[in-house]
């Protein structure tokens, strides 16, 4: 039948329209921005940088390895590695990004930066509310704007964040287990037994 698909679409629209007066499940819109739909864990918008603890500078997991910058297809990530080092998430002295910028006007949300990061330092956000009156500088985010706590990460991707925390905890435990073994000095070799004094032949010594 010609136009059968159009009729089915109109019927579905009518069912939702009239059904919304008697059932909330039929409501297909919300009063945005006062009302918002629950965030879906599998959704993604733009990258952000994860930090542990309360200090975003000291707790940032990123070590400035620049792998994500090299692998980014649209080349929207700019990183400058620091000259000095600081302890990373597992206590090792590592470099950190002196500059970390992402131009989200160019970002295609491909998530390749997340997949290639060996330190679980960059993840995908679910926030799409990024209004700005400056289409250039307003969409160029620096590392302070990109930094979000591990608690925030758990709030938007709880399953993924729990797995990451478990892996990092295992790495920390492994690193701590190596420290006592390296700090313990080797045992001293046993001292040689004293050699008895030789006695003269044929009588006692005088």
First to last CA, the chain: 133
CA distances from 131 to 106, 134, 158 (A): 15, 9, 26
pLDDT at 64: 93
Beta bridge partners of 123: 48
197 has pLDDT over 70 = no
- Of 6-10, 60-64, 125-129, 175-179, which gets the smallest average pLDDT? 175-179
Does any domain span residue 190? no
State how many domains the chain has: 1
Does any domain span residue 82? yes
Does any domain span residue 24? no
Instruction: Answer whether 0.75 is exceeded by the pTM.
Output: no
Does any domain span residue 75? yes
27 has pLDDT over 70 = yes
Bridge-based pairing of strands 93-94 and 97-103 is: unpaired
Choose between 133 and 91: higher pLDDT.
133
Does any domain span residue 201? no
99 has pLDDT over 60 = yes
Does any domain span residue 119? yes
Does any domain span residue 23? no
68 touches 122 (CB < 8 A): yes
DSSP assignments along 88-109, one per residue: -TTS-EE--EEEEEEETTT---
- Residue 62 belongs to what domain range? 46-175
Does any domain span residue 189? no
| Domain CATH number, residue 70 | 3.30.70.3270
pLDDT at 173: 86
At residue 8 the predicted structure's pLDDT band, cuts being 50, 70 and 90, is very high
């Amino acid at each position: 039948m010609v136009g059968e698909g159009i009729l089915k679409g109109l019927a579905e629209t009518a069912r939702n329209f009239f059904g919304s007066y008697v059932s909330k499940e039929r409501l297909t819109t919300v009063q945005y921005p006062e009302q918002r739909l629950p965030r879906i864990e599998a959704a993604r918008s733009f990258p952000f940088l994860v930090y542990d603890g309360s200090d975003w500078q000291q707790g940032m997991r990123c070590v400035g390895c620049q792998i994500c910058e090299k692998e980014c297809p649209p080349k929207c990530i700019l990183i400058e590695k620091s000259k000095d080092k600081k302890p990373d998430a597992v206590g090792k002295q590592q470099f950190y990004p002196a500059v970390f910028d992402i131009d989200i006007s160019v970002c295609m949300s491909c998530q390749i930066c997340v997949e290639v990061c060996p330190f679980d330092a960059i993840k995908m956000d679910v926030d799409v509310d990024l209004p700005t009156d400056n289409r250039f500088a307003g969409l160029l985010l620096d590392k302070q704007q990109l930094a979000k706590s591990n608690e925030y990460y758990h709030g938007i991707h709880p399953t993924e964040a729990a797995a990451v925390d478990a892996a990092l905890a295992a790495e920390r435990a492994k690193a701590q287990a190596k420290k006592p073994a390296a700090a313990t000095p080797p045992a001293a070799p046993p001292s040689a037994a004293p050699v008895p004094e030789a006695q003269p032949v044929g009588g006692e010594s005088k």
